[in-house]
Amino acid sequence: MKITVPLLVRRYFVPLVLFAIGVFFQLVVLPNSFPASHYDVLGLERFATVEKVEDAYSKLSSKWLSSLNLPTPAEFVKIRYAYELLTNGEWKRDYDLFAIDEQRHVIDETIMRHAGESYLKVNLPLLYSNWSGSMDQDLDVLTLENFGSIVGGSKAMLTMVFSFGSHRCATFMNSWTRIGALLDGVANTGAVDVANVQLASFFAERAFNKQPIFRNGLPALIAFPPNCASSNCYIRYNGDLSVDAIIDWLATSVLGLPRILYYSKDSLVQKFFLNSGMHKIKILFFSKTGERAVPFLRQAAKEYSTYASFAMVLWKQEDSSVWWNMFQVDSAPALVIIKDPGVNPIVHYGNLNSSQFFELMEKNKYQELPQLRSTTSMALGCDAEGFSLAGSNVETWYCAILAGRPGQTLNKMRDTMRRIQKTLRDDADANGNKVSVEASAAVAAMKANRLSFAWLDGGVQKDYCLFYLHKLENIYETCGPSDYDSKDVPRLFIVRYKRNSVEHELRPKKKPNSFWSAFDKENSNLASQIVAVYNGTVDIQEVIQWISWIVEDGDKSTMHPYFIGAAPALIPEESTTFISRSTQSIFSTGNGLKDRVLDICTSLYEFRRDPRIGPMFFLASCISFGAIWVRSSSQPAHSAEVEDGTTATRNQTNRRRKTSTTDIPPSITDAVPSDAHQLLPSDSDSE
């Protein structure tokens, strides 16, 4: 039986391909993945001593001087490079222990420069080593003793692995100093010298043969997230060594801080002011360089997202008139804090450090007239479950609330309330005149932190607004969405809070008989409340006198009706509106998809140096060949003929042709004889 060649190739195609790949890997890929080491160039064994390196180079030099076996420029450059590298103690240590050879590009550059010339024209030395002096600065070098006590804390840790013999490290030192300054208050920094082999090996990557290496050379940057102290959770930086890129990577990938976006003069109002919420102050950073925000600013954007929205603006001289008219800013860098509509912004020129900026934020995190919200009611002293701004020892305190739907009418009233608040705080009006005696009670309460002011968004906080103002006529002009009524009428009311156990004990127990009395439930943790609504004009002096009368009467009288009940909960505003709309998509808490893909590609690239890959392909080829041979040998003998596709088919056709048809009985489908005729029945109508 003859088996054709195409059938044999088709049958054993897979093992043949595996065998070919194994041969290609062993003869082409693997040799090119292991270029001759610098020891091989000098004809020495691995890790030879400096003395042996000098002896080997001396022997080669003597041959060249005797005009025997003159080297080509390429040969000379490789030998000279190996000699200079392996006779420098720091370079040799880095090369032997961590395969660091950052000046290897010098070989190719020098060979190209002196191609076709004599080796004597090559300028020596090839390698420059006079840069260690630039690294003699105050580095916070970690040791095994203090490393364990620094990492694993509540702050992140950025570590740099460096070598005093590295030119790249010497060049990077100024950037490292600046990185440490920018991370002040956000993350700790530390440096590890590769001379500390045990600690440096902890930060090194591992080759296929488990040798510690730094694939991207030195300096190597490794970050420990908060509460991380092992190699299982630290994150390695593989990007550009620019300060801006490193800071952005640490803030975004390690600390999970939001980016603060840049806006132009055309997009600032539409995309920032209108989308960042009326209840927040606005923080603008004017920058000349266009660099990303430093980490402590981004940390503030995250921590103060409830109170403030942040934006960056690139300063351009041609836009200076626009910024002056809008914010009274005439140069950069500058920080602008915008607290309320119609209020002059706070402008600070120059750079701020972390402590200065957070101190400034604490002083200005509220609007001049703060908004009453779920996150501010306790801090403003406007919650029956809380206490006054003066502390828990004060029994009676007051909260003046301006309620209404956002708009021009409410903004005018907010401006009036800000002036009233400032007058009572300063005990003098805008002209410096002292407040009248009739307002002394309000001034005293203001100075004692027993009186606070706030405004309420009646559209969003409809239930809360109706709870206190439900007895007024046309209440939907103040409370509820604007589609209830086209007219907006802000209203001012004061809530007196009082904590008095006697009042609570004397209060009669009754069942709720209406929707509003359902909120009037017993709760020993709630202060009693009395509500007074202002019905006068918007004259500042008249409003101040009314507030003072309410405070004086509330402090003295105990006969007013009161209630101890929980008001409807304030609807939480989206405290991270600005972050979620503009920066949440760029939050990151670890390695992203790009980093994972890069790790996979790096691992695949490392496999080319693994000598086990070729034999694995050979083994797979043998297993596949054996499996196919066993399967084909176990088939019946006639299966080969069937596979041939010709003999079996021909035999079957011949057998069908030889089959006799004489024994087949006639059927109604046989051909009709020419002389046949049809016999008609006797009752037929035919003639």
Question: How far apart, in whole angstroms, are the C-alpha atoms of residue 372 and residue 222?
Answer: 45
The pTM (predicted TM-score) of the whole model is 0.71
pLDDT (average), residues 611-629:
87
| Predicted confidence (pLDDT) at residue 184 exceeds the cutoff of 70 | yes
Please, which contacts does 137-146 make with residues 24 or more away whose CB atoms are closer than 8 Å?
137/173, 137/177, 139/191, 140/189, 140/190, 140/191, 141/190, 141/191, 141/192, 141/193, 142/190, 142/191, 142/192, 142/196, 142/199, 143/196, 143/199, 144/196, 144/198, 144/199
Length of the chain measured in residues = 687
131-135, 234-238, 239-243, 679-683: range with lowest mean pLDDT:
679-683
Residue 534: which of 420, 639, 422 has the closest Cα?
A: 420
Facing residues of 398 across strands? 451, 496
| Predicted confidence (pLDDT) at residue 68 exceeds the cutoff of 80 | no
Q: How many CA atoms lie within 13 A of 530 on its CB side?
A: 19
Q: Give residue 687's pLDDT.
A: 39
pLDDT (average), residues 293-306:
92
Q: Average model confidence (pLDDT) for the chain? A: 82
Q: Give residue 440's pLDDT.
A: 86
123-137, 180-194, 292-306, 436-450: range with lowest mean pLDDT:
123-137
Facing residues of 333 across strands? none
Q: Give residue 80's pLDDT.
A: 95
Answer with the residue of higher pLDDT: 659 or 217. Answer: 217
Crossing angle of the two packed helices 408-426 and 540-556, in degrees rounded to 10: 60
Domains of the chain: 1-33+591-639 (no CATH), 34-129 (1.10.287.110), 133-254 (3.40.30.10), 262-364 (3.40.30.10), 377-556 (3.40.30)
| Predicted confidence (pLDDT) at residue 680 exceeds the cutoff of 50 | no
What share of the chain has pLDDT > 90, as a percent? Answer: 45
Question: How far apart, in whole angstroms, are the C-alpha atoms of residue 87 and residue 287?
Answer: 49
Q: Model confidence over 319-366: pLDDT tens digits?
A: 999 999 999 999 999 999 998 877 889 999 998 888 899 999 999 988
Residue 188 banded pLDDT, cuts 50, 70, 90: very high
| Predicted confidence (pLDDT) at residue 578 exceeds the cutoff of 50 | no
| Predicted confidence (pLDDT) at residue 586 exceeds the cutoff of 50 | no
How many Å separate Cα 534 from the centre of its chain?
49
Position 173, amino acid: M
518-527, 574-583, 678-687: which is most confident: 518-527
Residue 213: which of 230, 227, 228, 194 has the closest Cα?
A: 194
Q: Give residue 639's pLDDT.
A: 47
Q: Model confidence over 513-546: pLDDT tens digits?
A: 554 444 444 445 688 888 999 999 989 989 999 9
